[in-house]
Amino acid sequence: MSASKNLAGSQAKPVPSPEPDLDLLRQDEDALAVPSAEPAAWLENGQAILDSSGRITEINESLGQWLDQADGSLAGRSLWALLEETCLEWRERLESFRAEKETFSSIELKLPTEPAQPVRWFRLEVANHVAGCFARFHSILPPLPELEEGSWDQQLRNEFARREMFLRLLRAEAQLKSLTERWPGVIFSQRADFSFRFVSSQIEALTGVSVAEWQGKPHLFWHVIHESDTEELRQQLQRARQSGQTLTSTFRVRHAETGRVAYVMEHRQPSVSRGGLLLGYEGVWLDVTRQTIAENRLSSAAWKETLSVLTMGLAHDFGNVMAGIHALSETFLDQAGDKAELNEGLTLIKKNSRQASQLVHRIINLHQGRTGESNYHNLNEITADLADLVRKIIPRRLELAIDLATEALPVYLDVVELRQVVINLVLNAIDAMPQTGCLVLRTSGFATLPLLGNFQGVLPRVPAACLSVQDNGCGIKLHQLPNIFDAFFTTKPTNKGSGLGLYNARLFIEKHRGAITVETKEGSGSMFHLWLPQADFTEAAAEGKQGEGEKERKGPNCPLSPSLPFSPAKDF
């Protein structure tokens, strides 16, 4: 008997019915308004055990319901055949997958549906063993290209699908974080106004601008691009926007705090709407400064080799002309006798022709030198020889002074490379003295090292030798000092200085286990010091042993540079 009849048959007063719970009614209405997913539309954790021929020995309820078969009727049937019956398009892929016979393997299968239905994807996982295999078949979310916005509502109604989507998002976020932290370049997504939606943290080390600033200040992009590359880059971006094609270019960026210049290779893909509106860019930056240095040095070396051949030929011919003039002057002097008016002129011709011949021989010696060959030298003699050459190239408005150590300074080094370094330092000093000034070349020996601040290289062993190049020019600004030995750093116009002179000096000094320092005061001049270990005449033997070890590692046919003879007693 119902509760209402019991209440009607009693003598008690009728109890008023309670007020309806509006919140519960709304929840029920919402539940009715959103249809639940079809049981067969999403398969969660379908499992089966198969024998060696692929026939079902056991199957769980989830997979049985999805196959629309009673559990008992599936025993003994081939799972592969059942799957092929479900979708004939799977047959070829299933046959290939089954033939692989890997211990653990998986395959993803797409089930064709009606246009209005959501795309359905499944994953089949198999663990093979001697007696058969264990199979797991379940629904998965479509891959990203096929996961359209319109189907999300239907795809994510199932709890398992929502969990899978959550895991996919976590995995994608972790992969992106790992990539941006380990990728040596910069990954970015840029808006049309050149601010960044996303940019990896490496951009701060490259440009000196924080990620937060990049994301909110569009004008920063053109502030870090080197002024000489700005116009060309603007034109390339305009062409890329019009064509919609990927742009690969190389340009320079300047560090906002230190002024350091780096070469960047950029790969940029513009994103354009159907109506031609630029939405932004996706791309990467890669620091190619070292590669650019190598290319410049190779290009420079190739040109220098060509120039050397031309100069050697011209210098040889010029030397022959000067030799003829010198010989004729001597002949005419003998014939002139005591005629004073002829003697004075012929003597001057003889003197100048001899000086011209000596200068030609110095030029030839410079071009005949080859880098990579070390030997014992007296630093005083090298400096004196360089001073004779410097006198010929410095302007008349400048003075040259030489201050050589009284004692011999034996060093073991590549003299050709040292000449190049000193000539670069001299040319920088000349540029620092645009009006008048004095250039000083100085050598000195040290039994103990003084305090060296802000040096590049390593502290040389003692006793040490020092070669200094001093000028009284404009000096170096303090904020530029930390970067003057960086590649491509220069305060000269881009068409006048390469920014590699001091960088090559640093490479030379590091190669020879020494140091380079600079003393400067803005408006008063600069003095660069090359600190080198004095030779103890064991260097050549150590280098020979190292060369023999290298030959043993590479094989008997590996060519080695011949050891150069030296005579310490003769040279020093």
Q: Find, among 453, 432, 457, the residue nearest to 513 by Cα.
A: 457
Quote the DSSP letter at residue 480: G
Cis peptide before 20 (omega within 30 of 0): no
Q: What is the pLDDT of residue 74?
A: 86
* pLDDT reading at 558 higher than 50: no
Say if residue 561's pLDDT is above 70: no
CATH superfamily for domain 183-287 = PAS domain (3.30.450.20)
Banded pLDDT at 510 (limits 50, 70, 90):
confident
Question: What are the pLDDT digits (tens) for 256-313?
Answer: 888 788 889 999 988 888 777 888 899 999 888 888 877 776 666 656 666 666 666 6
Residue 156, sorted as left (phi over 0), alpha (psi -120 to 50) or beta, turns out to be alpha
Which residues are within 8 A (CB) of 4 and not within 5 positions of it... i.e. 6 or more apart? none
Query: What SS3 class is residue 402?
Result: strand
Over residues 472-476, the mean pLDDT reads: 87
- 490 pLDDT exceeds 90? no
pLDDT of residue 9: 38
Residue 28, pLDDT score: 44
Q: What is the pLDDT of residues 71-121, one digit of tens each?
A: 567 888 999 999 998 888 999 999 999 888 888 999 999 888 776 677 788
Q: Which pLDDT value is given to residue 366? A: 59
Contact indicator for 496, 258 with CB cutoff of 8 Å: no
Give SS3 for 403: strand
For residue 434, the model assigns a pLDDT of 81
HEC secondary structure over 270-337: EEECCCCCEEEEEEEEEECHHHHHHHHHHHHHHHHHHHHHHHHHHHHHHHHHHHHHHHHHHHHHHHHC
Give 5 or 190, the one with higher predicted confidence: 190
In one letter, which amino acid is 100? E
Least confident of 180-194, 328-342, 415-429, 443-457: 328-342
pLDDT at 367: 58
Q: Looking at residue 498, what is its pLDDT?
A: 61
The C-alpha atoms of residue 549 and residue 551 are separated, in whole angstroms, by 5
- What would the two tokens of residue 92 be? 């070829």
Nearest to 286 by CA among 383, 185, 212: 185
Across the chain, mean pLDDT equals 78
CA angle 365, 369, 370 (to 5 degrees): 170
pLDDT of residue 151: 59
Higher-pLDDT residue of 475 and 542 is 475
Picking from 441, 456, 431, the residue whose alpha carbon sits closest to that of residue 531 is 456
Residue range 367-389: mean pLDDT, rounded: 79
Structural domain boundaries in the chain: 46-173, 183-287, 296-368, 372-572
Q: What's the whole-number mean pLDDT along residues 357-384?
A: 74
Domain 183-287 in the same topology as domain 46-173: yes
Quick one: fold of 372-572? Heat Shock Protein 90 (3.30.565)
What CATH topology corresponds to 46-173? Beta-Lactamase (3.30.450)
Sign of the dihedral defined by the CA atoms of residues 44, 45, 51, 56, in that order: negative
Residue 494 has pLDDT above 70, yes or no: no
Threshold 0.85, pTM exceeds? no
User: What pLDDT does 572 receive?
Assistant: 41
